[in-house]
Amino acid sequence: MSGDIVITVNGKLHTVQSTPDTPLLYVLRNEIGLNGPHFGCGGEKCGACMVLVGAEPRLSCHLPVSEIGRARITTLEGLIEEGELHPVQRAFIEEQATQCGYCVNGMIITTAALLWKNPHPTDEQVRTALDGNLCRCGSHLRILRAVRRAELLMSGKGSE
């Protein structure tokens, strides 16, 4: 049974026609037309489908759209403000932190959430935060450098 469900994605209200148990990922990609969150493993194990629900990173491949309620959803596209990339997005580009780019959605979303909560995380905290995001290309060291660059950019100490 489908019905109208209203969700806020990237600051805009969207009325979607899905069954309440439809995974948020499918709503974002198929109904709203966003490409940031990817379908990866489909089993909540890779992080490619990561979005922010409020300020919390969440895997969207199994998250029923009905569980969103009034929470604000932010995707990779929603991190861009007034045409400017988010500092985390800039840092990943500057550090060439991806190769195939499939993991980048989850890596960037998770990094942004981490740095909002903890502007100066330890290396262990960074590794723990990113642990649920798989990179199969071997860009791990570049990703860690990108997190550190984003930390500087967000604190105003990085190059603009």
152 pLDDT more than 80: yes
Give 50-98 pLDDT, tens digit per residue.
999 999 999 999 999 999 989 999 999 999 999 999 999 999 999 999 8
Domain residue ranges in the chain: 3-79, 87-155
For the chain, give the mean pLDDT: 93
Going by CATH, does the domain composed of 3-79 fall within 3.10.20.30?
yes
Q: Detail the DSSP E strand segments found in the chain.
A: 3-9, 12-18, 50-53, 56-59, 72-74
Going by CATH, does the domain composed of 87-155 fall within 1.10.150.120?
yes
102 pLDDT more than 70: yes
Contact between 77 and 34 (Cβ < 8 Å): yes
